Structure formats: C-alpha cells, structure tokens
Amino acid sequence: MMQQSRVDRVFTFFNTAIILFITLLITYPLYYTVVASLSDPDAIALGRVTLFPVGFSTAAYSNVIQNSIIWTGYRNSILYTFFGTLYNLVLTIPCAYVMSKKYLPLRKTFTWFFFITMYFSGGLIPTFIFIRSLGFINTPWALILGPGVSCYNMIVTRQFFINTIPDEMYEAAEIDGANHFQMFFRIALPLAAPIIAVMALFYGVNHWNSFFSAMIYITDRRLFPLQLVLRSILIMNEQVLMDAIETGDDVLINIAMARARMAQVMKYSLIFISSAPLLMAYPFIQRYFVRGVMIGSIKG
C-alpha cells in the first residue's frame, strides 16, 4: 500500500470533515423529528428539545394511532403512490425506448415537443378545467392519472437505452425473427432494471410528497392523502385557538393551546411515519440508483 504524502493526508482530512459535516446537516432534521415526537409538547413549545427527548412521552403516537382520519390518509397516499408510479412507468419506459431509435421518423421533432413542455405548461386554470372536463374532480384519478410523463425522466431513460444496450443486440434478435415488441419485452426491459428502479424512486417520491394537486382537485376528506390530512389538522387547531382567544374564556384558551401543542408534536410523529416507507424502500434500490442515473446521463 502506497504511503500518502502530507498534502494527500491534509486533503483526505478536510474532505472527510466536509463529508461528515454535510451528512450531519442531512441526518439531523430527521433525527430531530424523532426526538421531538417523543418529547413533551410544552418542552417543544419552549424550544428545550435539541439532541435528546425532554419529558419522554408517546402521546403523539397514541393520538396518531387513535385518529382514523390519519390512517385513511396514509392508505390513500400508499394507493396514489403505487398506482401513480406504475402508471408513470408504463408511459415513460416504452416512450423512452421508442425515442431511443435513431431511425424513428421525425425523431428530432418529437424530442423538441417533449423538451418544450419541460419549460412551458398550460397553467393551473387550464389544467383544472381539463381535469374537470374528464370528470376527475374529487376522484383518485386526478392524482393517479393527472401527472403522466416527466419529460426529464423520459430523456434520462432514453439516454440509458441509447448508451447501455448496443444496436448489435437488436440486430441479432431481428435476424432471429424477433419483432419490436419481442425486442422490447425480452431484451430492453430486462436490461433496464437499473433505470426502472431509479424512475420508480423519482416518481414514487413525487407522488408521496405531493399535496398541492390534492388541495386543488380533492375536497372530499375521505380521499385526502396523508400530507393534506396533516395540513388540515394543523389549520383546524390554529383556527380553534383563534376562536378561543376571541371568546376571552381562559379555560377554552388553555384547552385550545394544549391541542395546538399536541398537534405540533403529532406533526413530528407524522413526518417520521410518512418518511418510513421511502426510508425502507431506498436500501433495496440504492445499488441501482447511481448506476442508472450515471449511465442514463451520458450523452451519446
């Protein structure tokens, strides 16, 4: 093993220190949500929680478990994410495969057509009118079928097909009598596991964290995703507190303040609970992640 020079050791030291510092910045917010969710609401309101729980309490998780609206939102988020991601992949992967073919007629025209939509859209009001004309208002379809193809994801997937699977493999399959559907399902799709995993992660995170579309298209509380349920709980408790203050009744004010503090603690517990599925899924696709993104981003 070669001995490092002094300059190399100094570089390694500072590089390691910077990486550890960035890692701390990334992991501390999640760690704080766990600590805060296990702390006393008054301690959080007073800003006494930093590294360890203060006044250890599981009341927030007990309230979450007992609140049926939260679990309905959790179920809705899982369904929207699963079916929405599946729908996105069914559109993105075949589209990228076709766009990767150099002999495709009007290939550059189609590429520009997709590229322009990355920077220009129809706007919120025309999109709302379109969704309403389809009869998707207050239905799960507004959140599942609304966002179809991300043009950025399609372009990255197209580059993966171009740079990873050689044309000679398709030519050999064509000589053996394979048609385009057989080449896609038997050659391209099995070899595209890395980029499929990456696209599933991208689309899944987007669906899981999405709340604005639900806020626009959904008014039925039974169809709220988890993020919108959390928002409604916080707003409701703030409104109760404002109403109690207007009455001037000290008893009502104290009750409303206690509810507001508990809602804040529940917010931290819900952040941890809502992040758990993605945290558990990431290790299984992490080995595909770097490979899929790096190969798909090479210009060929």
Domain ranges within the chain, ordered by starting residue: 6-37, 67-296
Sign of CA dihedral 52, 55, 61, 67: negative
Residue 261 phi, psi dihedral angles, 5° rounding: -65, -40
Please say if the pLDDT value at position 92 is more than 70. yes
Task: Please report where in the chains the tokens 């990228």 appear, as a residue.
Answer: 96
Give the residue-averaged pLDDT of 50-79: 80
> Do 97 and 188 touch, CB atoms closer than 8 A?
yes
Residue 298 has pLDDT above 50, yes or no: no
> The tokens 């981003």 sit on which residue?
297
Q: Specify the DSSP class assigned to residue 51.
A: S
CATH architecture of the domain covering 67-296: Orthogonal Bundle (1.10)
3-class state of residue 117 by DSSP: coil
Distance in angstroms (rounded) separating the CA atoms of residues 225 and 270? 12
Cα angle at 89 between 280 and 152, to 5 degrees? 95
Provide the pLDDT for residue 12. Answer: 84
As a whole number of angstroms, the distance between CA 275 and CA 98 comes to 35
Token pair belonging to 288: 């595909």
**What proportion of the chain, given as a percentage, has pLDDT over 90?**
4
Q: Which of 210, 195, 166, 147 has the alpha carbon at shortest distance from 292? A: 195
Residue 300 clears pLDDT 50, i.e. is over it: no
Model pLDDT for residues 225-277, shown as the tens digit of each residue: 888 887 777 676 666 556 666 666 666 666 666 666 777 777 777 777 777 77
Residue 151: exposed, middle, or buried by beta-carbon count in 10 A (0-12, 13-18, 19+)? middle
Of the candidate ranges 61-75, 104-118, 279-293, the one whose mean pLDDT is the lowest: 279-293
Question: Is the pLDDT score of 5 beyond 80?
Answer: no
pLDDT of residue 297: 46
Lowest mean pLDDT among 109-113, 127-131, 193-197: 109-113
* Whether the Cβ atoms of residue 75 and residue 129 lie closer than 8 Å to each other: no
What value does the CA radius of gyration of the chain take, rounded to a whole number of Å? 25
| pLDDT for 59 | 74
| Tokens 């609140």 -> residue | 67
pLDDT tens digits, one per residue of 211-223: 888 888 888 888 8
**Tokens coding 3:** 């001995």
Q: In one letter, which amino acid is 99?
A: M
Alpha-carbon span 288 to 69, nearest angstrom? 36
Angstrom distances, CA of residue 280 to CA of 56, 65, 286:
26, 20, 11
pLDDT for position 83: 93
Question: What 3-state DSSP class applies to 57?
Answer: coil
Q: What is the mean pLDDT of the chain?
A: 79
